[in-house]
């Protein structure tokens, strides 16, 4: 079980994947839109989307020739909202311990 937690949090600890997840909070996007939002190159976006899809963080739908990606509404969106509440409540403590920078 411990290794499953590590794998889960490692997926979000990767800066590129975190940027993709945070971009998708704004709604579903195709790879081109994610490239614009994250300033990452297409191949890096595609590689990390594959990882996020395999881990169940994101879903994708084909719209014509394009794939549109969105966050997993059942688990990831509620988890991100919970993290937001935690950061808001403990922001001062997170800054003191060096997790957040002012």
Q: What is the pLDDT of residue 32?
A: 97
pLDDT mean for each 10 residues of the chain (102 residues): 84 95 98 97 97 96 96 98 93 77 60
CB atoms within 10 A of CB 88: 8
Q: What is the pLDDT of residue 100?
A: 61
Predicted model pTM = 0.87
Label residue 91 left, alpha or beta by phi (over 0 means left) and psi (-120 to 50 means alpha): alpha
Q: Which domains occur in the chain, in start order?
A: 2-71 (1.10.10.10)
Evaluated on CA atoms 74, 48, 54, 30, the torsion sign reads positive
């Amino acid at each position: 079980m411990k290794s499953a937690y590590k794998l889960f949090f490692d997926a979000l600890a990767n800066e590129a994947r975190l940027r993709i997840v945070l971009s998708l909070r704004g709604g579903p996007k195709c790879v081109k839109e994610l490239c614009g939002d994250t300033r990452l190159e297409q191949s890096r976006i595609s590689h990390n989307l594959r990882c996020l899809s395999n881990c169940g963080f994101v879903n994708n739908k084909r719209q014509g020739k394009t794939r549109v990606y969105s966050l997993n509404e059942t688990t990831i969106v509620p988890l991100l909202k919970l993290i937001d509440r935690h950061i808001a409540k403990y922001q001062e403590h997170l800054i003191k311990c060096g997790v957040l920078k002012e």
